[in-house]
Amino acid sequence: MKRSVSIIGGGPSALILASFLDPDLFTVTIYEKSKSIGRKFLVAGKGGFNLTHSEPIEDMIEKYSPIGFLDDSLLQFSNSDLRNWLDELNISTFVGSSKRVYPEKGIKPIEVLNAIMKQLKQKTVEICTKYEWIGWDSQGGLEFNNQVIIDTDFVVFALGGSSWKVTGSDGKWLDNFKKHGVEVVDFRPSNCAFEINWPTNFINKFKGEPLKNIGLTCGNRYQKGELVITQFGLEGNAIYALSPQIREQLNQDGRANVYLDLKPIFSEEEVFQKLNQSTKMSISDKLRKSLNLNPAQQAILKLYTSKEEYINPLRLAKTIKNLRIELIGISELDRAISSVGGVPIASVTDQFELNALPNHFCIGEMLDWDAPTGGYLLQACFSMGVKLASHLNLS
């Protein structure tokens, strides 16, 4: 007789799990509280829609924390495997100049979702929308808001993190777990904006301006990329990637320091040589013409240097390569691209089974791991889904 798997939450980790479960062994049902599934996946599609990253899997693995937690999942279902799977669904992908992987031009996010849905239909996966899981009843059955109680062989929670509540990923499930005595940690924002006390005149002039091809360091982590100046502070892939290090400093001291390299392609010595050329050019002209710094980059430099420093090529070169910016806060959770917190990694086995509740599993962003944007988040969710499917298929 077939056994039943109830998957709660209808995001990418749930969908791929359902797709990889053997329909000869299991009846599979997805319970999703919203009117439709995959809403955060579609939101991701409105932005860059990085399905994964194309770097070698050994390098990719290093981007995740805690170290080691996702290695098996990523090796079992790598970025190439993901692209092959999408190919089988008639979703071809391409590698952009940033090495991120996107659906082929012209393929809309909804088409990617529909292709996955089509496969789930072929595999007779049942999808129940408007089913909000609200906890366990006294017998340990799963209880939904519409009075339905479900008894099942295997429960897989794929409830997501807690940002962009509008997509359904509101993290309310944390209380259900707490009430049932399952250990959880509060959510915190990741891949998010950080607050800076910018002067008003600077903001008025430069908000929305990008700082391209920069390097940013926090603690022992360095990231090349782009930043955007906002009213709140700084956003962009370079600062998103440093979220764990910045969060740690903010937690400890209420303040964090990041160090901006405005010219990563040149050494400090080379920057100095360019500033020290004996031409009649003003410093501003040298910054613009010899170092190719745009007005926003020049304005940041001025903001953080004294007059004496600005006219001293040696000191200015140092600052261009290592400009300290103080961060005083973090974005609100709901605006973050992802969240950390939820179910601690130590609370699940290598197969994502809750230590406290046999036959209950957790996958996806609801577990307490972290990764930068750029395809790493979705890849992890997909890889966890496939790893769990393989485990259940063999159970």
Ligand X SMILES: Cc1cc2nc3c(=O)[nH]c(=O)nc-3n(C[C@H](O)[C@H](O)[C@H](O)COP(=O)(O)OP(=O)(O)OC[C@H]3O[C@@H](n4cnc5c(N)ncnc54)[C@H](O)[C@@H]3O)c2cc1C
Interaction site with ligand X (CB under 6 A): 8-14, 31-34, 39-41, 43-44, 47-50, 132-133, 158-160, 163-164, 168-169, 173, 337-338, 364-365, 373, 375-378, 381
User: Residue holding tokens 């129940």?
Assistant: 128
Closest contact distance (angstroms) between CB of 156 and ligand X is 11
* DSSP 8-state symbol, 374: S
User: Residue holding tokens 């050494």?
Assistant: 267
Closest contact distance (angstroms) between CB of 236 and ligand X is 13
State which residue, 12 or 236, has the beta carbon closest to ligand X.
12
State which residue, 159 or 260, has the beta carbon closest to ligand X.
159
The DSSP string of 207-231 is TT-EEEEEEEEETTEEEEEEEEE-S
Closest contact distance (angstroms) between CB of 281 and ligand X is 42
Closest contact distance (angstroms) between CB of 164 and ligand X is 4
The DSSP string of 342-368 is EB-GGGB-TT-BBTTSTTEEE-GGGBS
Closest contact distance (angstroms) between CB of 55 and ligand X is 14
Q: Residues near 46 by Cβ (< 8 Å), separated by ≥ 6?
A: 109
Beta bridge partners of 228: 210, 235
State which residue, 133 or 266, has the beta carbon closest to ligand X.
133
**C-beta separation of 240 from 337 below 8 A:** yes
> Among 391, 394, 395, which Cα is nearest to 352's?
391
* Pairwise CA distance, residues 395 & 85, whole Å: 23
| CA distances to 197, 214, 236 from 202, in Å | 10, 19, 18
122, burial (CB in 10 Å: exposed 0-12, middle 13-18, buried 19+): exposed
State which residue, 154 or 376, has the beta carbon closest to ligand X.
376
Closest contact distance (angstroms) between CB of 213 and ligand X is 21
**C-beta separation of 103 from 48 below 8 A:** no
**C-beta separation of 41 from 62 below 8 A:** no
The identity of residue 308, as a single letter, is: E
The identity of residue 147, as a single letter, is: Q
State which residue, 170 or 309, has the beta carbon closest to ligand X.
170
State which residue, 43 or 203, has the beta carbon closest to ligand X.
43
Closest contact distance (angstroms) between CB of 139 and ligand X is 19
Closest contact distance (angstroms) between CB of 75 and ligand X is 18
Closest contact distance (angstroms) between CB of 309 and ligand X is 39
User: Residue holding tokens 């974005």?
Assistant: 331
State which residue, 173 or 266, has the beta carbon closest to ligand X.
173
> Among 256, 262, 268, which Cα is nearest to 219's?
256
State which residue, 209 or 334, has the beta carbon closest to ligand X.
334
State which residue, 130 or 255, has the beta carbon closest to ligand X.
130
Closest contact distance (angstroms) between CB of 181 and ligand X is 18
* C-alpha torsion sign, points 394, 381, 61, 248: negative
State which residue, 198 or 376, has the beta carbon closest to ligand X.
376
**C-beta separation of 369 from 69 below 8 A:** yes
CA angle centred on 325, ends 319 and 330, rounded to 5°: 160
